[in-house]
Homo-oligomer: A and B are copies of this chain.
Amino acid sequence: MSLLVIGTLAYDTIETAHERREEILGGSAVYFALASSCFTPTALVGVVGRDFRAEHIAALEGAGVDLEGLEIADGETFRWSGRYEADWNTRHTLDTQLNVLEHFDPKVPERHASARFVFLANSSPQVQARGLDQVLDPEFVMLDTMNLWIDVAREELVQLLGRVDAVVLNDEEARMLTGEDNLWRAAQGVRELGPGVVVLKKGEHGAFLLAEDWRFSVPGFPVESVVDPTGAGDSFAGGFMGYVAATGDCEHPTLRQAMLYGTAAASCCVEGFSTEQIEGRSMEEIQRRYEELLRMITP
């Protein structure tokens, strides 16, 4: 198994302008692994509490996610609660209960320590670094983060950026991290912190990749009915890294294709609450959207 993700599993309570759902499956590693496992078997390292439901273990295993690295700790699973404005562009965190995440120390199972492709899903930079320490000689490590860590753990985050090959973050986070308002200069500023590849997620406007001497832009997939954008970024990363790991290299053409597959995976995710639309979607649907995206960018 060549793809490893280290991140969170959660129960989320989500309010949109139309609906409210309580205690639904979420977490960065969950969304990532459900998307990436459409492409390649994926090993997950994370922690849940005793309250984590058997049906959710079964859903992950059923999708081909290896859970040897999943710790079941005394206490409750991480909870997050948030509300989206009607235009989807603003998200308010209503409540966060770290629970078992508070003392989480990731343990990478021995047989996954040789993973070639690693995704450090959104989690504290300290947890991400401790996870990365246990991977022997990864070929391509990608990191995700969020505004919270830029605020409260900037130093640890910047240090970690020097150890990874790629980072994926949204436009607002790139601006926050660099102090640059201009999107292109912000991307360049993030690259100067270490990672050779910077991927900026721009929601409905797609994503942008900046590397040393090339860049690539992909439009958003036209989703006509957004239900819940939670997990879109993690699903994007899952499609991206899943394709890279399945292909087995990280050459330019692979990374370009990965941008399209990530976009296709994210577009499935936002069409349902929780993981219902990313779980339910086969590789066939992702492939269909990939081909539609290709048509949309072919002059």
Residues of A at the B interface (CB closer than 8 Å) are: 86-87, 181-185, 202, 204-206, 208, 214-219, 222-226, 253, 256-257, 260, 294-299
Contacts and interface: CB of A to CB of B under 8 A. Distances in A.
B299 A253 contact: yes
Contacts of A181: 86-87
Contact of A224 (B86, B185, B219): B185
B296 A216 contact: yes
Contacts of A298: 256
A299 B297 contact: yes
The 10 closest A-B pairs by CB, nearest first: A217-B219, A205-B205, A184-B222, A297-B297, A256-B299, A217-B296, A184-B224, A185-B224, A215-B296, A257-B299
Contacts of A296: 215-217
Contact of A297 (B87, B205, B217): B217
15 contacts: A86-B181, A87-B181, A182-B224, A183-B204, A184-B222, A184-B223, A205-B206, A206-B219, A217-B219, A218-B297, A219-B219, A257-B299, A260-B299, A294-B299, A297-B297
A225 B297 CA distance: 26
A182 B87 CA distance: 8
Contacts of A226: 182
Contacts of A87: 181
A224 to B, nearest CB: 5
A181 B226 CA distance: 11
A41 to B, nearest CB: 25
Given A205-B206, A253-B299, 11 more contacts: A182-B224, A182-B226, A183-B204, A185-B224, A202-B205, A205-B205, A215-B296, A217-B296, A219-B219, A260-B299, A294-B299
A223 B257 CA distance: 25
Which residue, A184, A217, A296, has most C-beta atoms of chain B within 10 A?
A217
A226 to B, nearest CB: 7
A11 to B, nearest CB: 29
A216 B206 CA distance: 13
A224 B187 CA distance: 11
Which residue, A184, A185, A214, has most C-beta atoms of chain B within 10 A?
A184
Which residue, A181, A214, A257, has most C-beta atoms of chain B within 10 A?
A181
